[in-house]
């Protein structure tokens, strides 16, 4: 479960992490009233649980209440990568002197929480790591030990955070760790954590992801999930009986078995790409299930290529191939589709796909590499 910014910031504020003054509005009139209360310059931000708001025009500055009214009028109702904006966050604009990145997330490979701190905030951590690798510090926490003061000092030095900020940074980092544990979160991110012109550290944006398997312990968050609703593609996939989760990348993924799909996501990332979704067709999937899966993935405008990775045990590769052929015959497929079939009736499946526009791959690594390259154009 992904929380929208205002929800994450409410949790931050309750924990004692400084956030800008602001409130959520659902109408332009409310946005104007909130801006009037705040006074001065404000920022109006679309509240959707996905990245890319800025590029879509969903984050705008306003100099006065009437400007906030106009910006809210523009943003409310707009589509941000499949999400219709129903509310905006109107908050005090910040006079930023420096931006930092801070997150704690779960590293599934190492089965440990990892703390990431950087003195180059304000952009995706992948972009930070690519452009400023020397400014990214990571530390994997030992189970039972947690986050200690010496960890914080070590990370601050490695990330190049000025020493005079440590007194403010340390309690913020401790509170982020407590939030991760208390809310069964798999990610708590502040980006940017900004040093303002007056020297204060403030969380200007926040992101949280909650483990769906732990929502029975988080009744308030579970109620939020039900009230907010899911991405339209997730709703459509559920209607078709598919296990689908929308992600932020551009490589569509279809596989059979949650473990194989998760491994496929990792392989895409290791090849320099990013998955657009998680979609598990399950064991023993018939042609109709494969057809439904591909139709859902192809209806995502973010998808620039598709990787279909099937290991046939109960699932027969020839059934998968027939489902793919049905889609290719019935709809215009505008993106490259890479297919790796292995296991039960793989030879029959491969023969069925010969001479089609589908891109075959003999190995897992080859399939991931081809899909990532295809998405990059």
Residues marked as catalytic: 101, 189
Length of the chain (residues): 377
Burial (Cβ within 10 Å: 0-12, 13-18, ≥19) of residue 366: middle
List, in sequence order, the alpha helices (H) in 44-99: 65-75
Beta carbons of 104 and 84 less than 8 angstroms apart:
no
Beta carbons of 305 and 250 less than 8 angstroms apart:
yes
| 3-state SS class at 189 | strand
Task: Give me the residues paired with residue 360 across strands.
Answer: 339
Residue of 322, 319, 314, 308 whose CA lies nearest to 360: 308
Could you give phi then psi for residue 341, rounded to 5 degrees? -115, 130
> Which pairs count as long-range contacts for 137-143, CB under 8 Å and 24+ apart, including other chains?
138/114, 139/114, 139/115, 140/107, 140/110, 140/112, 140/113, 140/114, 141/112, 141/113, 141/114, 141/115, 142/112, 143/112
Interior angle at CA 161, CA 108 and CA 164, nearest 5: 135
Cα–Cα dist 26/290, whole Å:
39
- Based on C-alpha coordinates, what's the Rg of the chain? 23
Could you give phi then psi for residue 322, rounded to 5 degrees? -65, -40
Cα–Cα dist 362/32, whole Å:
58
Cα-Cα-Cα-Cα dihedral sign, residues 238, 241, 247, 251 = negative
Task: Give me the residues paired with residue 311 across strands.
Answer: 342
Cα–Cα dist 22/43, whole Å:
9
């Amino acid at each position: 479960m992904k929380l929208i910014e205002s929800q994450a910031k409410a949790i931050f504020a309750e924990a004692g992490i400084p956030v800008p003054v602001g409130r959520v509005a659902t109408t332009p009139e409310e946005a104007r009233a909130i801006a009037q209360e705040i006074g001065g310059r404000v920022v109006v931000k679309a509240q959707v649980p996905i990245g890319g708001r800025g590029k879509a025009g969903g984050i705008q500055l306003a100099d006065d209440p009437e400007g906030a009214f106009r910006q809210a009028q523009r943003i409310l109702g707009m589509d941000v990568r499949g999400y219709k904006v129903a509310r905006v966050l109107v908050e005090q604009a910040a006079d930023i002197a420096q931006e930092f990145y801070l997150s704690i997330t779960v590293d599934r490979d190492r089965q440990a929480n990892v703390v990431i701190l950087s003195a180059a905030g304000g952009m995706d951590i992948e972009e930070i790591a690519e452009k400023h690798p020397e400014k990214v510090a990571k530390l994997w926490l030992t189970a039972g030990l947690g986050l200690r003061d010496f960890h914080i000092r070590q990370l601050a030095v490695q990330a190049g955070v000025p020493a005079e900020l440590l007194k403010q940074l340390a309690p913020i980092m401790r509170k982020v760790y407590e939030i991760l544990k208390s809310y069964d979160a798999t990610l708590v991110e502040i980006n940017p954590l900004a040093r303002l012109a007056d020297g204060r550290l403030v969380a200007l944006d926040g992101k949280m992801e909650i483990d769906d398997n732990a929502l029975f312990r988080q009744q308030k968050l579970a109620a939020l999930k039900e009230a907010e609703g899911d991405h339209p593609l997730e709703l459509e996939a559920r209607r078709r009986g598919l296990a689908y989760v929308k992600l932020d990348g551009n490589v569509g993924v279809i596989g059979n078995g949650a473990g194989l799909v998760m491994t496929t996501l990792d392989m895409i990332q290791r090849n320099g790409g990013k998955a657009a979704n998680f979609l598990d067709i399950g064991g023993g999937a018939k042609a109709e299930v494969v057809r439904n899966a591909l139709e859902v993935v192809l209806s995502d405008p973010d998808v620039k290529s598709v990787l279909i990775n099937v290991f046939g045990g109960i699932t027969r590769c020839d059934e998968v191939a027939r489902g793919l052929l049905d889609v290719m015959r019935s709809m215009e497929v505008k993106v490259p589709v890479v297919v790796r079939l292995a296991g039960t009736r793989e030879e029959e499946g491969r023969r069925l796909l010969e001479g089609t526009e589908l891109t075959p791959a003999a190995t897992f690594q080859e399939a991931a590499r081809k899909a990532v390259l295809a998405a990059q154009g």
